[in-house]
Amino acid sequence: MSSTLVIYNPAAGRGRVQVHWPRVESALRQAGVSFDAVATRAPLDAMAIAERAAGNYTAVIGVGGDGTLHEIVNGLLRASGEAETTAVGMVPLGNGDDFAKVILQRRRWAASPSTGALLWIKLRAGRRSPLMWGAS
């Protein structure tokens, strides 16, 4: 088992994740990130997957939009009893991507899934935002 889990939502961004997932996966692997990947199949699936993953992985990366991130964070917090939990990264490919736009002050993430993957790689290399909960 890898130390990183990627939860991707193929329906996010009106199907944008489904189209770009191979590029994101390739960018992460080329950067040397070893990971397990799971696709969501229904609403709240990311939350259930993240809750089960807590304690089994040191990091969880979401690939999708704000809803995917919301579900992942809630699943991890639920598993930890709202205590410190697993590091979270995001490759924002949703419709609005408000988290990426407002918090990370980036624009047009959806146009570049490999840029989103590189954001995660930089954060894991120690160049992280104070909002990276539990990042190592």
Bigger pLDDT: 106 or 87? 87
Evaluate whether residue 134 is within a structural domain. no
Alpha helix segments (H runs only) across the chain: 12-30, 45-53, 66-80, 98, 113-124
Interior CA angle at 65 toward 133 and 76, to 5°? Answer: 35
Whether the per-residue pLDDT at 115 is higher than 50: the answer is no
Residues marked as catalytic: 66
The whole-number pLDDT of residue 90 equals: 83
Whether the per-residue pLDDT at 107 is higher than 60: the answer is no
In which band, very low, low, confident or very high, does the pLDDT at 33 lie, cut at 50, 70 and 90? confident
Evaluate whether residue 115 is within a structural domain. yes
Evaluate whether residue 129 is within a structural domain. no
Evaluate whether residue 24 is within a structural domain. yes
Bigger pLDDT: 30 or 8? 8
**Domains identified in the chain, total number:** 1
**Which structural domain range is residue 114 located in?**
4-124
64 three-state secondary structure: strand
Which string of DSSP letters, residue by residue, matches 17-33?
Answer: HHHHHHHHHHHHHHTT-
Give percent above pLDDT 70 in the chain: 72
Tokens of 133: 């909960």
